[in-house]
Structure 1
Amino acid sequence: MPASNPSTRRIDWTTLFLLTFPPLSWAGNAIVGRLAAGTVPPVALNWARWVLAGMLLAPFAWRGVVEHRAVLRRHAGVITAMGILSIASYNALQYLALTSSTPINVTLIGASTPLFLIVIGALCFGERVRPWHVAGALLCMVGVTFVLVRGELARLAQLDLVPGDLYMLAATIAWSAYTWLLRKQRPALPLPVLLFAQIVTGVLASAPVTAWELLTLDQPLQWNGKVAGILLYVATIPSLLAYFAWDRAIARAGAQLPVFFITLTPVFAALLSTVLLGDWPRWYHGVGLAAIAAGIWLAQRR
């Protein structure tokens, strides 16, 4: 019996939950990252997050690691690159961005990932760029730029940008490169094994930077209930549960539809920021989100 086309699959309530849960979790991660600013150093927070996530995942992944050790050795270079780009770079840069930018800004910039996917795919992987890809990329660029300058176009001439916004741009580029590696050179490994291998390589790669950050702190790091709660959340919900939900959502709905649900992340971030941080969204956030959503729709259309 032939496999069904993902575009014709019926979206049931379970699939809808799997598509919605990851953006909500990632929005919550941005809120928690903002709450951690000034309490836990960003690189150390990322390192501790993934150490704990790796410990939680190890009992479920270790047997697969032993069984697939030959594949892991053969693809060690690609897995290391994936771990550096995703675990060590993207997440640390996002937390670093949240020390000076807002969760709404950070998630809106992150929602522009399709723009960088198109550019990196064309430059590094020889992917064909169609006219609607260019139109969608330009709309995403307009939306991101509008958010970066806070709706004040005069800032373009002054380059008066918040450092956190630039960190998030770098994080988005790193995630886009990781996505292409995952799409083009993904090793034939079960998801828990691949994720565990990426966590190990990412933790090892970020350990020197984490040690440097902790050694150069003006104030000693203090552990308390707030820090423990932050670590427990970021190590479980956005790290493990959201990752597995996203993988299942793509398996059920195909690769096209989930991209649109990514745009829910800044929407959830705006709602959570209002409720938990008292940080109300501004008019330029709405304009930027509309432009980014329209750009993604154009870029993904067949």
Structure 2
Amino acid sequence: MSVSQIVAPSSAPASRLRATLIGLTAVLMWSALGLFGAASGKVPPFLLNALCFGISGLAATVYVLSRPGGAALLRQPLRVWAFGTAGLFGFHFFYFTAIRNAPPVDANLINYTWPLLIVVFSALLPGERLKPHHVVGALLGLGGAALLVTGGSGLSFDPVYGFGYLAAVCSALFWSSYSVLSRRLAAVPTQVVAGFCLATSALSLICHLALEETVWPQGASEWLAVLGLAAFPVGLAFFTWDIGVKRGDIQVLGAGAYAAPLLSTLLLIAAGYGEFTLVVAIACLAITLGAFIAARDLLLRRSAERPVVKAPGRG
């Protein structure tokens, strides 16, 4: 798949299934966050955010401007820029705030309610209908994610971390709302995400200068990890997700998003950062089953569209 296909304008013809599959590639890319993040050293979160979004946003903007009519695509109303920037930056701002002010395990689990919220909020969209199997699939995914995040040891929410928990709730609400409301802006071309990335980078840099001590990546391997983040999970993933939520099956995308923590865990295990346990196996089963249940309608529709080949009769 070429870059031009991935960042095609929203008016380009694309089937619901194709758009859903493109959107799910974002989940695959987000699964590399843990591995690349671990390899990027001790770069503080907001600085890492500024670097990754800056590199990906600049590269995408140069590409868009090099195409015929690219500059015109970036001329969007202020409300579009405000919406996109609030979605990308707001999610990361509240997520980083949450893990700074609450135990990371607890904050991560609260944050991982965003795929379930996408499934639930999708019922508010025109032409969408929330069915029981969508909710069942998303809940199974949440259960699997909870096992991965906690290691099966359970949680101990402490009121003293209330501010951090609230920030985690805000991060989940920001990303789920951004994903669902993007359907309302289906006419806005995906190329505009390049501008969202640049704005998010600038705001992240401001937060870094105000809140963090500067620690740059050390050596070629850490810089390569930053480039890997910028290219995929903090770059291309936001473009393919935009296509998916605007034209794909948003309930399937929501439930399928729970594959990200699972695949991330498996990648870390493969890289020697952990080991495969019974908890991981159960989580794998729950998330996979949940995704298939949520995708029931899409899979049945695809099966019904296949042509039936009849065996030749005797003449």
Residue among 48, 54, 66 paired with 2:57: 54
Counterpart secondary structure, 1:89: helix
Residue among 206, 228, 233 paired with 1:208: 206
Q: Look up the match of 1:78.
A: 80
Counterpart secondary structure, 2:32: helix
Measured in 2, the distance between the counterparts of 1:265 and 1:139 equals 14
Contact 1:114 1:299 (C-alpha < 8 Å) held by counterparts: no
Contact 1:42 1:92 (C-alpha < 8 Å) held by counterparts: no
Measured in 2, the distance between the counterparts of 1:191 and 1:276 equals 33
What pairs up with 1:258-273 in 2 under 5 angstroms? 262-273=257-268
Report the alpha carbon displacement of residue 31 of structure 1 after superposing the two structures with TM. Answer: 1.2
Measured in 2, the distance between the counterparts of 1:157 and 1:26 equals 27
Contact 2:179 2:245 (C-alpha < 8 Å) held by counterparts: no
Q: Which amino acid aligns with 1:183?
A: R
Cα distance change, pair 257–90 in 1 and its aligned pair in 2 (3 A) = same
1:42 aligned onto 2:50:
no
Contact 1:149 1:160 (C-alpha < 8 Å) held by counterparts: no
Contact 1:137 1:295 (C-alpha < 8 Å) held by counterparts: yes
Structure of larger gyration radius: 2
Residue among 293, 296, 310 paired with 1:298: 293
Q: Look up the match of 2:189.
A: 190
What pairs up with 1:101-112 in 2 under 5 angstroms? none
Q: Look up the match of 1:90.
A: 91
Q: Look up the match of 2:215.
A: 221
Counterpart secondary structure, 1:152: coil
Contact 1:27 1:266 (C-alpha < 8 Å) held by counterparts: yes
Contact 2:23 2:242 (C-alpha < 8 Å) held by counterparts: no
Report the alpha carbon displacement of residue 45 of structure 1 after superposing the two structures with TM. Answer: 0.4
Report the alpha carbon displacement of residue 190 of structure 1 after superposing the two structures with TM. Answer: 3.1
Any stretches of 5+ residues in structure 2 without a counterpart?
1-12, 298-315
Q: Look up the match of 1:117.
A: 118
Q: Look up the match of 2:31.
A: 27
Contact 1:23 1:261 (C-alpha < 8 Å) held by counterparts: yes
Any stretches of 5+ residues in structure 1 without a counterpart?
10-14
Report the alpha carbon displacement of residue 46 of structure 1 after superposing the two structures with TM. Answer: 0.4
What pairs up with 1:167-178 in 2 under 5 angstroms? 171-178=171-178
Report the alpha carbon displacement of residue 57 of structure 1 after superposing the two structures with TM. Answer: 1.8
Contact 1:122 1:128 (C-alpha < 8 Å) held by counterparts: yes
Contact 1:33 1:98 (C-alpha < 8 Å) held by counterparts: no
Q: Which amino acid aligns with 1:30?
A: G
Contact 1:34 1:98 (C-alpha < 8 Å) held by counterparts: no
Contact 1:83 1:198 (C-alpha < 8 Å) held by counterparts: yes
Report the alpha carbon displacement of residue 115 of structure 1 after superposing the two structures with TM. Answer: 0.9
Q: Which amino acid aligns with 1:119?
A: V
CA RMSD for the aligned pairs?
4.5
Residue among 64, 67, 73 paired with 2:72: 67
Measured in 1, the distance between the counterparts of 2:95 and 2:143 equals 21
Measured in 2, the distance between the counterparts of 1:21 and 1:291 equals 20
Contact 1:149 1:156 (C-alpha < 8 Å) held by counterparts: no
Measured in 1, the distance between the counterparts of 2:137 and 2:33 equals 27
Measured in 2, the distance between the counterparts of 1:200 and 1:85 equals 13
Report the alpha carbon displacement of residue 292 of structure 1 after superposing the two structures with TM. Answer: 3.4
Q: Which amino acid aligns with 1:34?
A: A
Cα distance change, pair 112–176 in 1 and its aligned pair in 2 (3 A) = same
Q: Look up the match of 2:227.
A: 232
Contact 1:109 1:144 (C-alpha < 8 Å) held by counterparts: no
Q: Which amino acid aligns with 1:184?
A: R
After superposition, the C-alpha distances for 1:255-281 in whole angstroms (9 at most, x for unaligned) are 676667645433432332123243124
Q: Which amino acid aligns with 2:132?
A: P
Contact 1:42 1:96 (C-alpha < 8 Å) held by counterparts: no
Aligned residues: 278
Cα distance change, pair 245–69 in 1 and its aligned pair in 2 (3 A) = closer
Report the alpha carbon displacement of residue 113 of structure 1 after superposing the two structures with TM. Answer: 4.1
Aligned-pair identity in percent equals 23
Q: Which amino acid aligns with 2:53?
A: W
Counterpart secondary structure, 1:151: coil
Report the alpha carbon displacement of residue 180 of structure 1 after superposing the two structures with TM. Answer: 0.9
Counterpart secondary structure, 1:279: coil
